[in-house]
Amino acid sequence: MHHLLTNCRVATMRSGSPYGLIDDAVVAIRDGHIDWVGPAADRVDDPAEERVDLQGRLVTPGLIDCHTHLVYAGNRAEEWALRLEGASYEEIARRGGGIVSTVAATRAADHSQLLDATRARLGVLLAEGVTTVEMKSGYGLDLKTELRMLRVARELGESADVDVVATFLGAHALPPEYKENRADYVRLIIDEVIPAVAAEGLADAVDAYCEGIAFTTDETRAVFEDAQARGLPLRLHAEQLSNCGGAAMAAGMGALSCDHLEYLDQPGVEAMAAAGTVAVLVPGAWYYLRETQEPPVDALRAANVPIAVSTDHNPGTSPVLSILAAMNMGCVLFGLSPEEALRGATVNAARALGLDDRGLIEPGMLADLAVWDVQSPAELSYALGHNPCRRVYKAGVPRNGG
């Protein structure tokens, strides 16, 4: 089907002008891809096209949530209440709560329970114009549950409504049964879990949590070397609660992204710039943890490090199920401009996932599009709790027949 979207404003997200905005534009879609985009005055119509009048609405690339932990069971509202009474995230983690309590709930859930819980959350993200979502494992921390999580992610990605990028995060926390035996857990990841994940083609990338309460840079490097040997790209949770030097190490290995980055130092910024590594900011976690140390946004800008924004949806530090809210928080909490926030959930998010076929509206790109009832693109990160998404095209097909 060939569609011609007419009477719209298009935020192409091309560089060179604010939002790459084109007023009174048309977008031609053919075979699931963008065929043409530009001012209506420049378009020569093809009578075979089905015209859709968007009544002046804004069109953006479909949004991309490039860092989520969407697959899990249970929730951590009680831990959240404890934190509000003054307990810190690290204290709770050291007491055996935190990530490890979600691990217990996730291990206890079977495939269909995990699938249903995740599908419900995914639906909430998709309603806000999201067309690509990354999902990490990391709440299994044993072979069978890590595989179950990734299979759930893969199964959800079979839907025509969304592409799911699956990331293996076995090095997320030390499972309780390896508490006295860190080296053996790292060996388990390298010798058993990554090979099984790779053999089934269950992951598109490998991530780790490099932090005082999680894995050291040496442990992370060992996992990454193995992942790289299997051709899997790297991502890293880095410098969230302290500066461990993980970002510089990961960037030195060519990582696609380093995420969180509150404590990133200048050498880390420079290493990321040199490698073209994307900085994924996750203001939801910062907000819920009531952090005070902000990621070095000015230094990232000055070094031309691409900045992405994501929900980091997870039951512990960021139960945020809204990419628009994450964009808003990126602006209010970290000082991003609304344009940076939208680039962070489109073109730069695609880059963080190593995807070069989306995130921009230009010929040849996938026709993943969101249509919004707003006048200006800044409105997308302006309101909280309001969803102006009116229509979504996934690979050129209107979602829900809309």
| Interaction site with ligand NIG (CB under 6 A) | 69, 98-99, 102, 209, 237, 240, 285, 312, 314-318
Segment lying near Fe ion (by CB under 5 A), choices 55-63, 75-83, 120-128, 305-313:
305-313
- Judged by CB under 5 A, the residue of 226, 312, 340, 368 near Fe ion is 312
| Contact partner, 395, from ligand NIG, Fe ion, none, Cβ < 5-8 Å per class | none
Residue 391 C-alpha from the chain's centroid: 21
What residue number has its CB nearest to ligand NIG? 316
Segment lying near Fe ion (by CB under 5 A), choices 2-10, 299-307, 311-319, 341-349:
311-319
Please tell me whether residue 340 binds Fe ion under the rule CB under 5 A.
Answer: no
- 156: which residues sit within 8 A by CB, 6+ positions away? 115, 118, 119, 122, 135, 162, 164
Q: How far apart are CA 256 and CA 358, in angstroms?
A: 16
Q: Which is nearer to ligand NIG, 98 or 283 (CB)?
A: 98
- 148: which residues sit within 8 A by CB, 6+ positions away? 111, 114, 140
Q: Which is nearer to Fe ion, 284 or 359 (CB)?
A: 284
Half-sphere exposure of 288 (CA within 13 A, CB side): 22
Min CB(108)–Fe ion separation in Å: 22
Min CB(340)–ligand NIG separation in Å: 21
What residue number has its CB nearest to Fe ion? 312
Q: Which is nearer to Fe ion, 60 or 317 (CB)?
A: 317
Min CB(172)–Fe ion separation in Å: 8
Min CB(69)–ligand NIG separation in Å: 6
Q: Which is nearer to ligand NIG, 319 or 396 (CB)?
A: 319
| Contact partner, 98, from Fe ion, ligand NIG, none, Cβ < 5-8 Å per class | ligand NIG
User: Helices 99-108 & 143-156, crossing angle to 10 degrees?
Assistant: 80
Secondary structure class of 112 (helix, strand, coil): helix
Secondary structure class of 91 (helix, strand, coil): helix
Q: How far apart are CA 186 and CA 159, in angstroms?
A: 34
Min CB(138)–Fe ion separation in Å: 8
Beta 33-39 vs 63-65: how paired, if at all? unpaired
Q: Which is nearer to ligand NIG, 5 or 173 (CB)?
A: 173
Q: Which is nearer to ligand NIG, 62 or 98 (CB)?
A: 98
Q: Name the β-bridge partners of 46.
A: none
Query: How crowded is residue 77: how many other Cβ atoms within 10 Å of its Cβ?
Result: 10
Q: Which is nearer to Fe ion, 138 or 306 (CB)?
A: 138
Count residues contacting Fe ion (CB under 5 A)? 1
DSSP class of residue 215 equals B
Going by C-alpha positions, the residue among 120, 124, 116, 122 that lies closest to residue 135 is 122
Min CB(333)–ligand NIG separation in Å: 15
Query: Nearest 5°: phi and psi at 280?
Result: -95, 115
Pull the structure tokens for residue 106: 């996730």
Which residues lie near Fe ion (CB under 5 A)? 312
